[in-house]
Structure 1
Amino acid sequence: MEIALATDFGIYELSPESMDCQMKKLADAGISHVHWAHDWDFEYLYSQWEILQIKELLEKYGLKCKGVHASEGNTRCRVIDGKPRFLNRNRLRDCRKDFTSPYEYNRLSGVELVLNRVDLACMLGAEEIVLHMVLPYEDFEASKDFKDLYWKQAFKSFDEMESYCRAKKVRIAIENMICTPKEYQFEQFDKLFERYSPEYMGICFDSGHSALVCTDCTYEFAQRYQSRLIAIHLDDNNSIDFSLSTDVDGAVQKSDKHMLPFTGVVNWEKICQLIAGSPYKLPLTLEVVVPHNTAEEEMAGLKKAKEVGEKLTQMVLSYRS
């Protein structure tokens, strides 16, 4: 049975040797597809030669690509006073590639970064890229002019990217996030889906993120935007553990454990039912962290992930039939 797994499942290293080792592990565990999640953060641009290198690497191990995780720009984790802080409420002022930037050349650089991942997806035979779009909602609250300009620039960028994505046959899936109140995200998805067609844009439903944001209804994003469900990150979480940090966003971020499905609070029966009634194309994609203290533990974790993915797939198929 075909199952996709995000490539940042364990030790996250970017050397050619490490990537080769990671792909071999996936193939040895019986995983059929990857969700290419390397470089999902930061401003790194793949050269045409690196894109070809990744294509040949997947072919070497008989792996197919279900999707590519794009990057919205610079990392949101900063070290402040010797401690990591997650900046999820405001615009990143030091981001040089930002498709929502008020500065035109930085906005165009952000567009270039996103389309770089579209090129990668097209070369790998994937039909979608997953994109974070973390809303600077405190800046929205402070200034209507800021919010208006933010959306003006975002729409300008998505308008410019549409013809390119359509020509490459790659859609953009905007992911639901963990530190932005759900009401702002509902406004975001409503705006985007009113303006752009399903042939260009949809949602990437992250079950672990949804469980932390929608504590009263862990599948709310999937239910609300079921007709636009084109990509998924399946993983489990428990509730937010505020003892992890005095920083609220930090506590949320550290509570995003990317656990195996059926080990947390997510309602998998309902989520599989929603996936079954959506336009989502199998295989399912798991975005989980696999224990990797030893090689044996890591391989056992990969095989367990495949087993869980197959169980979820059977649940989806039973609803579809």
Structure 2
Amino acid sequence: MKCEVKRLKCGVKRMNRMEDRAKMIRGLMLLVAAAVLASCSRAGDPGPAVPAPPEAGPAASADPEVPAPRFPEGGRAELARTEGGVSVLRGGTVLPAEPGTLLALGDRVRTGPEGSAEVRLGSLAAFLLLSESEAELRAARLDAGSALVEVFVASGTVLFDVRTLGGGESFVVSAPRLLSGVRGTRFLVGAGIASVTAVREGRVAVLPSGPVLERLAAAARTDGVARTALRALFALAPVVEPGRELRVDDAALARAETAYGALESYLTELPPLPLAPDFPREPWFAASLPELPAPDPRSREVLDRARAAAAGARPALAVPAAA
């Protein structure tokens, strides 16, 4: 535990030295320049020429058993810089990890003991994997005004720099034990004995996350009741302010999962509200989602009851933030 805490504190200190480090590594390194993403100067300089990614969405594959990679819509995700041992995993294949390598949805970037890697997501955001870290690009739509990104930190420490988001944009970082929602900030997520979110600038909402929350998220893909309850939970999530960190350990996760379990049981007693076939198939946390249709008083009552049940879980979500 002490080693993990020391590692994460070192990561925060590294964030505080970002601008000095930028001058040392030629160009503007991720999470280093104070205004690099806000000014979009990095987006204006695409660096070495690389081929454009294929069209987003399903594509033909020479091997019918191996699905073709799906690339982000509205922009590209790419490795901007690598140092030391870095690899990109796509399914069971290891790809060359070099500047300009395009990342598809589901790709994982992994760094070794002496490695680090910077990933750029268009002009929306960038993130830096420190040594012995792994992160997966789970979802990415980079269109301005409706951007949506989910990054999963599987292990180690990752520093994020996200431009200020518009009202219809979402950026979520998950890790074992937690889910962080971002509105435009610089912050760190560490996955180890405990999962940690530490904020340098801006504000980050954090939910403890485990198997029960994942089941609710799966149900929310097709059921409006589960989706409404989850969005209500997210609105109640504790917020980490600048200079503070929030640590979700096993005890904190167990408290939250117990509350989620009670919510899950209650929702099974409510009549489901299947999402219409033409309802946008966005993740439940997407800020661009329209309000769920509730054309009759009974449906509106069901959604109100789901929100009220989610509010009952609020005490179990409280995780003290520390400096």
The answer to whether TM tops 0.5 is no
> Larger % of helix: which?
1
TM-score by length of 2: 0.29
TM-score by length of 1: 0.29
> Larger % of strand: which?
2
Give the number of the structure whose alpha-carbon radius of gyration is greater: 2
